[in-house]
Amino acid sequence: MGYQGKVYREQGGNRQVVASGGSLDVESGGELDIESGGSLKLAGTAVTATAAEINAIAGGGISAAEFDYLDGATVANSVASKAAILDASKYLRTAANNGTAGTNCTAVEYGDGFNHTSVITLSSVAATIGDNVALAGGAIIYTFPAGAYVIHAATASIGITLTTGTPTTDDPELGLGSLVGSGANATLGDVDAAAEDISAGPVSSVNLVGTAALITSAPALAFEAAESHVCNVNYADTWADVDNTDATISGTVVLNWTLLPVA
């Protein structure tokens, strides 16, 4: 019975096998060259990195621990204990200590987990206007996370649209507030100062066909952990005699705010 060594050619000659206990050594001056179109596999998986890429990594002195910071990192979103990767616009987004967007709203969060810029898109947020009567209303568009926080600035481009019917010439007040608009009130100020505190006052909506009203404010509002944690989009007017009281609010609101860490 013949002896088969630890390194042998498989029967048929198409496969060279290094068995357990065997080795394939390339001595000094020798080389192992995998030609273009060939493949190097580890545990059955082809290595797809090029020699130039591998050499660049080795030349950069990147360690296994540094590679681990990238493994699992997500572009445009923060992951715990992983490298932060900027988005396509070179902005840093965060998944830490974010608020929650309201119904028919979406939010994109930028910042470092404490200093935030929240870009909130309103897509047909429901509103019920008055019919030949004074009425205020509003809807939550963003809920801040638990804890004390400060709102530094707010900008908005929002418009209100009557769903169907006429007239569309009303010019209600629009504003951003920590208190939702409500009641038989012709102005947001009649509701309460908090119905327009984030926008630092109201602006005119111009009409009910969605024309954008612009808001720019720097309220520097501080809220304790037990105080209001919402931003509402509010409206108020002495409304005309309308065919339909269903309306929607659309546009963009940007909030710059800081979550205050617990001492």
Q: Which domains does the chain have, with CATH numbers?
A: 100-259 (2.60.120)
The yes-or-no verdict on residue 78 having pLDDT over 70 is no
Do the beta carbons of residue 233 and residue 173 sit within 8 Å? Answer: no
Alpha-carbon distance of 47 to 33, in angstroms, equals 14
pLDDT at 29 over 80: yes
Q: Where are the beta strands (DSSP E) in 45-172?
A: 45-46, 100-101, 105-111, 115-128, 134-143, 149-162
Q: Measuring CA to CA, which residue among 174, 156, 153 is closest to residue 236? A: 174
Provide mean pLDDT across the span 145-162.
Answer: 97
pLDDT for the residue numbered 96: 81
Instruction: Return d(Cα 218, Cα 28) in angstroms, integer.
Output: 71
Q: How much helix, strand and coil, in percent to the nearest 5, is found in the chain?
A: 10, 40, 50
Query: What is the tens place of the pLDDT at every residue in 179-235?
Result: 999 999 999 999 999 999 999 999 998 899 999 999 999 999 999 999 999 999 999
Q: Is the pLDDT of residue 76 over 90?
A: no
**Confidence check: pLDDT of 41 > 90:** no
If pLDDT is split at 50, 70 and 90, which confidence band does 121 have?
Answer: very high
Sign of CA dihedral 105, 142, 130, 171: negative
In angstroms, what CA-CA distances link 124 with 45, 121, 160, 242? Answer: 50, 10, 9, 19
Q: What is the rounded CA–CA span in Å between residue 73 and residue 78?
A: 7
Convert the pLDDT of each residue in 234-261 to its tens digit: 999 999 999 999 999 999 999 999 999 8
| Range among 5-9, 80-84, 180-184 with highest mean pLDDT value | 180-184
The pLDDT of 40-60, averaged and rounded, is: 79
